[in-house]
């Protein structure tokens, strides 16, 4: 191995957030004091930054922000709490607890996120501590659900190969806990833990005092399903199954969705596969990858701080070399694999061992009772009798897993009783839709997403129907801002919010999550969206090749150029 | 009415003289003469229990001679017990009148008066209001207690009269004034003019009493009275620089802004009204109130008219001098229709064919229960058939009284503006939705650009300390916080350096934190030193301002020891009592005092003007 010139980290004046982390004394800051201030329902900016590491963001109801200002009331501050559920797994007891907390402290609904986590919205500051305590009592945590650390590790909840799933799921749990922050601050602040005076160096052996430059996302896919959008992850593992056994994982690095409108130095990027490792090696690979990003990531400019920019700045070869150096061993060559889709398969499926799995469509990941569909009640009733588990999918849906034959009948009856469809009756477009929370609570949103996408789909469905495309799966994704929570750069059709009612429209991503989409129209409103898509749908219906997906079609017929790499996304 | 030999005890010559004189007299002169004659007789007959007679129903006159009673020193003591300032203002008017007659006048709040002087007082006049369940106003508490204790002196050499203010819709109407009246007589003092009990529309009755007192003292020292005195001073002269706009002549203030201070989802609505004083010459100080003349609910007015099948356009009397308005307008603007009072029901008996009303009126307990939460429409529906004509309402109904609201702004911070904080009152009772007259008017029908009739009601009993360095503790939950916005804005403008501590509370933090961003700014700028809040419905345990006071008891006591003034504004029934108890308990606990010592400590605070309340 030839010795190369050592690459230097990018340097530059550390951003304010870096200063904050440094001075926070391992994520303590003045959180305790700010939480007990009764004059405001909010937190000062610095403590809010720290709070993310504890799994919560301060938000406010933006629908009423101006109105309240006139009323001499501060914004309606409230907190989103995100619960870490590695691989999206939760027990019926945990489900019941989250359901209860949604009423007790939240807004009466549960959000299943695009990263297989639970979110509670609308928790008031005075209730944060009780909520977090109750979550912890159910053996769940919010620690590191947000913040500049490794997040909830995603994992395919594959209901077809349950024995493989359970093994892969085990690794997602191990990864999550291995990379969890070790600071006692969380216990001190929320769980009334003993205040621990600790030796400086030992507190965070992986992260150190200033944690990572930005968030870090890990996902594990089990081919042929790429539901976790493995190439959108900073670090991805692709399970390799040979002769019915899990032999190891291909490793992919450097993916990420976020960008900033109008800044071409920011872009979505897909991860690249760099090799193969055996299962027992993946913790080591993850830890060393994280430390490389810790040492080389951009700590001066936050919007260029994600791992994908570190890799693009120094090159994939540099990274692999550096990784090998830190591991002290080398990855094997990548193994063959192929994906065929990123979606979920709805309905009942019999898995290994004779247990049943039901994948339920959950619109926008929002578990809520509406006039006709009492989804939340149905799931509560099911959780009371269910002996298996629940699995949150990367597409914001829900798998009721490991159902015995006797319980299957009861569960099906409960769903029917509460007006819940299993998913198959929805149009393929609706089933393949993904949206982030956006307005009114997300502070970053420039436009609607979760609240609006269903309405837009209502208007697109008749057009598709007329073109004979009702059962054609087309990934459609919408986010309120370009940070990419619903992974829009991997939508065959994607909308990224620009302003109230206005979106940039992207097309041409690969159906299996292997190609980014491309900007097609800028700043358009509903009328123009429909006027733009209608002829393309018709064209697609008539001139598509056999089995050709929409994303591939719009590239082949020249609506958009194929994006071959994130670095030419803006070209 | 003409006096004749046949219908009076007078000779034809006397009757002619009287008949010639009477039609020329103004109302004030008649009142004056009435007082004069009473005292004239009392002086001559030596009767201590003179009865006020009407001006024309006179007994046989005594010889017309100068009074033979010994001349009293021309010294008068006027004591007032005042919560909102009305009693104080009326007492001031009496003082001016008596001074005009060459009297040496001592004018004082009851709790400021040195009771050891009481024995030597030749003329004693009491003006006192009554609150809640017959309670004396704060600055009358200690004096009321003293007068009803064994320490009260014999007052045989004293002549007195009492003016009582109150509200007939309360059970213990004018009780404080009545207490003093009875007690003074018991102590041997001579009543020279009968007590007058004033309802909420007190001006005319009070003016009558003032004139009667003036007449009486004039008679008591007839020959020595300066010629110029008397009825000419009936109207209190306006103080220099005062606006022409008064309670009797309200200013039509334009509504500049009107917004709901409660956020979405609140079960309450609190209006923040910004009114223009431009061109009025009106000004005010922190602690003062604004009187608002509201309008009744048009829907309720229409229901009343429909109930009795009256003609909405029929002209009815609305003014003292016989001015008229169409019935609908009279009910909207001039008469009270939302409250039942005992006098109203008593008068109403004559207009119904339903005998049950007379039965009700004669049963005190049932009457009280019936009046509670019912209004004129209930009465009309419950006791038909009626012979009541639209023209009768002038005799039946009270005038629509103005509503007083503590001012929520400093005129220094908002020149030519005044801000009010009005919580909408709506509830259901006896099967119907009830609406607060003024609060619903201002919240539902009054729009920016409209004009609202208002006057300034000074409140000398709720004033920030004169010394800008004196620490201030303010307890104002709900709309009780209004005057403290005025206090703090004033301090912000004047640059007062004393520490300030506000206790605020309501139901829900998110929606009911009135003026939240104002307080946050004041905290940041240091105008407000400390802010403690209690939201009763946000936690399992209900938490109120008094709980927060107790939590910070040690510090609060330290502030008191450092000379802090304590101000309490808001609900009288519960909050003010609980806060008072908390204060006592803090002084006991942190001052190491017994219950009696703590009570004495608080009384001393009150006497020094360091514990002031504006409660309602």
Residues of A in contact with B541 (CB under 8 A): none
Mean pLDDT, chain A, rounded, equals: 94
Given A125, A214, A217, A374, which residue is catalytic?
A: A217
> Most A CBs within 10 Å: which of B419, B516, B519, B525, as the mutation test of the A interface?
B516
Residues of B in contact with A124 (CB under 8 A): 509-510, 538
Question: Above pLDDT 90, what percent of chain B?
Answer: 72
Contact A76 B510 (CB under 8 A): yes
Distances (CA, A) of A16 to A209, A290, A299: 15, 22, 10
Residue B269 at interface with chain A, using a CB cutoff of 8 Å? no
What is the per-residue pLDDT across B95-124, written as a single tens digit (0 to 9) for each?
Answer: 999 998 889 999 999 988 888 888 889 999
Q: Domains in chain B, start-ordered, CATH in brackets?
A: 1-58+70-235 (3.40.50.360), 251-293+402-457 (2.40.30.10), 298-396 (1.20.990.10), 472-615 (3.40.50.80)
Q: How confident is the model at residue B40 (pLDDT cuts 50, 70, 90)?
A: low
Give residue B240's pLDDT.
36
Active site residue A146: no
The minimum CA-CA distance between A37 and chain B, rounded to whole Å, is 10
> Most A CBs within 10 Å: which of B260, B506, B510, as the mutation test of the A interface?
B510
Binding residue positions of A for siroheme: 485
Given A115, A151, A308, A345, which residue is catalytic?
A: A151
Given a contact cutoff of 8 angstroms between Cβ atoms, the answer to whether A261 and A303 are in contact is: no
Higher-confidence residue of A369 and A202: namely: A369
Give the lowest-confidence range in A261-270, A419-428, B460-469, B524-533.
A419-428
Give residue A4's pLDDT.
61
What is the per-residue pLDDT across B86-95, written as a single tens digit (0 to 9) for each?
Answer: 899 999 999 9
Q: Where are the alpha helices (DSSP H) in B140-249?
A: 141-147, 175-186, 203-220
> Most B CBs within 10 Å: which of A73, A74, A107, as the mutation test of the B interface?
A73
Contact B516 A72 (CB under 8 A): yes
> Most A CBs within 10 Å: which of B517, B524, B547, as the mutation test of the A interface?
B517
What is the per-residue pLDDT across B125-184, written as a single tens digit (0 to 9) for each?
Answer: 999 999 878 889 888 888 998 899 888 899 998 999 999 999 888 888 999 999 999 999
Q: How confident is the model at residue B228 (pLDDT cuts 50, 70, 90)?
A: very low
Given A49, A299, A308, A442, which residue is catalytic?
A: A442
Torsion of CA A483, A486, A488, A492, to 10 degrees: 180
Tell the burial category of A75 from Cβ atoms under 10 Å away from its Cβ (0-12, 13-18, 19+): buried
What is the per-residue pLDDT across A236-268, written as a single tens digit (0 to 9) for each?
Answer: 999 999 998 999 999 999 999 999 998 999 999
Given A82, A111, A366, A391, which residue is catalytic?
A: A82
Nearest CA in chain A to B513: A73
Tell the burial category of B106 from Cβ atoms under 10 Å away from its Cβ (0-12, 13-18, 19+): middle
Higher-confidence residue of A4 and A194: namely: A194
Instruction: Using only the alpha carbons of chain B, give its radius of gyration.
Output: 26
Q: How far apart are CA A261 and CA A570, in angstroms?
A: 11
What is the per-residue pLDDT across A503-544, written as a single tens digit (0 to 9) for each?
Answer: 999 999 999 999 999 999 999 999 999 999 999 999 999 999
Give the lowest-confidence range in A191-200, A251-260, A556-565, B415-424.
A191-200
What is the per-residue pLDDT across A429-482, written as a single tens digit (0 to 9) for each?
Answer: 999 999 999 999 998 999 999 999 999 999 999 999 999 999 999 999 999 999
Interface residues from chain A to B (CB-CB < 8 Å): 38-41, 64, 67-74, 76, 124, 126
Distances (CA, A) of A36 to A39, A105, B183, B363: 9, 17, 55, 56
Binding residue positions of A: 436, 442, 481, 485
Give residue B571's pLDDT.
93
Enumerate residues 6+ apart whose C-beta is below 8 A from A424: A346, A347
Distances (CA, A) of A103 to A121, A330, B62: 10, 51, 86
Tell the burial category of A168 from Cβ atoms under 10 Å away from its Cβ (0-12, 13-18, 19+): buried
Give the lowest-confidence range in A5-19, A385-399, B578-592.
A5-19
What is the per-residue pLDDT across B358-367, written as a single tens digit (0 to 9) for each?
Answer: 999 999 999 9
Nearest CA in chain B to A78: B510
Hunting for tokens 């969890």 — which residue is that?
A180
Distances (CA, A) of A2 to A5, A6, A7, A313: 10, 12, 14, 21
Residue B562 at interface with chain A, using a CB cutoff of 8 Å? no
The minimum CA-CA distance between B453 and chain A, rounded to whole Å, is 25
Nearest to A39 among B260, B514, B523 (CB): B523
The minimum CA-CA distance between A448 and chain B, rounded to whole Å, is 21
Binding residue positions of A for [4Fe-4S] cluster: 436, 442, 481, 485
Q: How confident is the model at residue A75 (pLDDT cuts 50, 70, 90)?
A: very high
Nearest to A39 among B264, B510, B520 (CB): B520
Nearest CA in chain A to B260: A71
Residues in B 519-548 with any Cβ partner in A closer than 8 A: 519-520, 523, 531-533, 538-539
Give the lowest-confidence range in A97-111, B208-222, B293-307.
B208-222
Give residue B1's pLDDT.
61
């Amino acid at each position: 191995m030839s010795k190369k010139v050592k690459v230097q980290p990018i340097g530059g004046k550390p951003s304010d957030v870096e200063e904050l982390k440094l001075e926070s004394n391992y994520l303590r800051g003045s959180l305790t004091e700010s939480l007990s201030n009764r004059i405001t329902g909010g937190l000062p900016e610095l403590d809010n930054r720290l709070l993310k590491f504890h799994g919560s963001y301060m938000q406010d109801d933006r629908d009423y922000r101006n109105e309240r200002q006139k009323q001499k009331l501060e914004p309606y501050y409230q907190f989103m709490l995100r619960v870490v559920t590695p691989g999206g797994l939760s027990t019926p007891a945990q489900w019941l607890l989250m359901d209860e907390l949604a009423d007790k402290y939240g807004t009466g609904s549960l959000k299943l996120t695009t990263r297989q986590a639970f979110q509670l919205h609308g928790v008031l500051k005075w209730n944060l501590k009780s909520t977090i305590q109750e979550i912890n009592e159910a053996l769940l945590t919010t620690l590191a659900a947000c913040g500049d650390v490794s997040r909830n590790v995603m994992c395919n909840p594959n209901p077809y190969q349950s024995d493989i799933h359970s093994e892969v799921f085990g690794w997602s749990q191990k990864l999550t806990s291995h990379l969890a922050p070790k600071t006692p601050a969380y216990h001190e602040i929320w769980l009334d833990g003993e205040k621990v005076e600790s030796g400086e160096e030992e507190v965070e052996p992986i992260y150190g005092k200033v944690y990572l430059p930005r968030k870090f996302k890990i996902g594990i896919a089990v081919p042929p399903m790429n539901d976790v959008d493995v190439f959108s992850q900073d670090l991805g593992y692709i399970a390799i199954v040979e002769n019915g056994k899990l032999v190891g994982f291909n490793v992919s690095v450097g993916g990420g969705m976020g960008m900033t409108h109008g800044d071409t130095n920011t872009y979505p990027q897909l991860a690249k596969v760099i090799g193969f490792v055996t299962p027992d090696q993946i913790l080591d690979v993850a830890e060393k990858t994280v430390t490389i990003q810790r040492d080389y990531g951009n700590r001066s400019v936050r919007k260029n701080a994600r791992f994908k920019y570190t890799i693009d700045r120094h090159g994939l070869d540099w990274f692999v070399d550096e990784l090998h150096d830190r591991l002290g061993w080398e990855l094997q060559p990548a193994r063959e694999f192929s994906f065929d889709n990123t979606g979920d398969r709805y309905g009942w499926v019999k898995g290994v061992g004779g247990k049943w799995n039901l994948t339920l469509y959950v619109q926008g990941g929002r578990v809520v009772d509406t006039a006709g569909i009492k989804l939340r009640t149905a799931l509560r009733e099911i959780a009371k009798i269910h002996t298996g588990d629940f699995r949150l999918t990367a597409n914001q849906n829900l798998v009721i897993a490991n159902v015995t034959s006797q319980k299957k009948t009861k569960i099906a009856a409960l769903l029917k009783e509460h007006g819940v469809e299993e998913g198959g009756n929805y149009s393929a477009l609706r089933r393949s839709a993904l949206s982030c929370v956006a307005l009114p609570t997300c502070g970053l949103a420039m436009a609607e997403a979760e609240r609006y996408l269903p309405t837009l789909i209502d208007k697109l469905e008749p057009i598709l129907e007329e073109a004979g495309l009702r059962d054609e799966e087309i990934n459609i994704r919408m986010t309120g801002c370009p940070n990419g929570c619903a992974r829009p750069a991997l939508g065959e059709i994607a909308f990224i919010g620009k302003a109230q009612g206005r979106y940039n429209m992207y097309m041409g991503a690969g159906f299996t999550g292997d190609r980014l989409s491309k900007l097609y129209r800028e700043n358009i409103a509903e009328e123009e969206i429909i006027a733009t898509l209608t002829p393309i749908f018709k064209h697609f219906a008539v001139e598509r090749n056999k089995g050709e997906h929409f994303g591939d079609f719009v590239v082949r017929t020249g609506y958009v150029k194929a994006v071959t790499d994130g670095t030419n996304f803006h070209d | 009415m003409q006096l004749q030999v046949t219908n009076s005890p007078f000779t034809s010559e006397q009757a002619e003289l009287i008949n010639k004189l009477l039609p020329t007299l103004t109302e004030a002169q008649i009142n004056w003469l009435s007082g004069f004659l009473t005292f004239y007789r009392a002086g001559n007959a030596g009767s201590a229990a003179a009865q006020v007679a009407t001006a024309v129903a006179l007994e046989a006159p005594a010889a017309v001679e100068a009074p033979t009673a010994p001349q009293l020193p021309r010294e008068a003591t006027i004591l007032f017990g005042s919560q909102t300032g009305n009693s104080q203002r009326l007492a001031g008017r009496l003082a001016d009148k008596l001074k005009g007659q060459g009297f040496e006048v001592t004018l004082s709040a009851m709790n400021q008066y040195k009771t050891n002087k009481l024995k030597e007082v030749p003329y004693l006049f009491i003006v006192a209001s009554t609150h809640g369940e017959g309670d004396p106003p704060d600055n009358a508490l200690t004096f009321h207690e003293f007068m009803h204790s064994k320490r009260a002196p014999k007052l045989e050499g004293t002549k007195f009269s009492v003016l009582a203010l109150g509200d007939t819709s309360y059970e213990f109407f004018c009780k404080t004034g009545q207490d003093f009246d009875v007690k003074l007589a018991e102590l041997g003092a001579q009543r020279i003019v009968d007590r007058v009990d004033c309802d909420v529309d007190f001006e005319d009755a009070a003016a009558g009493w003032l004139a009667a007192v003036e007449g009486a003292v004039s008679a008591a020292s007839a020959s020595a009275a300066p010629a110029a005195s008397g009825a000419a001073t009936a109207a209190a002269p306006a103080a220099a620089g005062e606006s022409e706009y008064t309670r009797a002549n309200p200013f039509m203030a334009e509504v500049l802004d009107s917004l709901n201070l409660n956020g979405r989802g609140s079960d309450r609505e609190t209006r923040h009204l910004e009114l223009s004083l431009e061109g009025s010459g009106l000004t005010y100080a922190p602690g003062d109130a604004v009187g608002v003349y509201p309008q009744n609910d048009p829907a309720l007015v229409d229901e009343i008219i429909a109930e009795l099948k009256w003609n909405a356009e029929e002209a009815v009397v609305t003014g003292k001098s016989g001015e008229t308005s169409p019935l609908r307008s009279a009910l909207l603007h001039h008469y009270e229709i939302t409250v039942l009072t005992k006098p109203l029901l008593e008068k109403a008996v004559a207009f119904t064919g339903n005998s049950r009303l007379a039965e009700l009126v004669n049963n005190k307990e049932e009457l009280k229960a019936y009046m509670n939460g019912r209004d004129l429409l209930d009465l009309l529906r419950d006791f038909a058939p009626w012979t009541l004509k639209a023209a009768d309402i002038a005799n039946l109904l009270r005038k629509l009284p103005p509503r007083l609201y503590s001012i929520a702004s400093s005129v220094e911070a908002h020149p030519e503006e005044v801000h009010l904080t009005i919580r909408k009152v709506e509830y259901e009772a006896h099967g119907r939705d009830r609406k607060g007259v003024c609060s619903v008017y201002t919240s539902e029908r009054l729009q920016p650009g409209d004009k609202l009739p208002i006057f300034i009601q000074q409140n000398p009993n709720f004033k920030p300390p004169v010394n800008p360095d004196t620490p201030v503790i303010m307890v104002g939950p709900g709309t009780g916080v209004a005057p403290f916005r005025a206090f703090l804005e004033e301090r912000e403008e004047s640059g007062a350096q004393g520490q300030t501590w506000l206790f605020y509370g309501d139901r829900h933090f998110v929606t009911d934190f009135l003026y939240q961003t104002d307080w946050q700014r004041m905290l940041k700028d240091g105008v407000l030193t400390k802010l403690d809040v209690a939201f009763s419905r946000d936690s399992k345990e209900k938490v109120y301002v008094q709980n927060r006071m107790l939590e910070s008891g040690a510090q609060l006591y330290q502030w008191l020891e450092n000379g802090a003034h304590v101000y309490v504004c808001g609900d009288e029934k519960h909050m003010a009592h609980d806060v008072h108890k908390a204060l006592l308990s803090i002084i006991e606990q942190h001052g190491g005092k017994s219950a009696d010592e703590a009570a004495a400590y608080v009384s001393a605070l009150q006497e020094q003007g360091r514990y002031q309340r504006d409660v309602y």
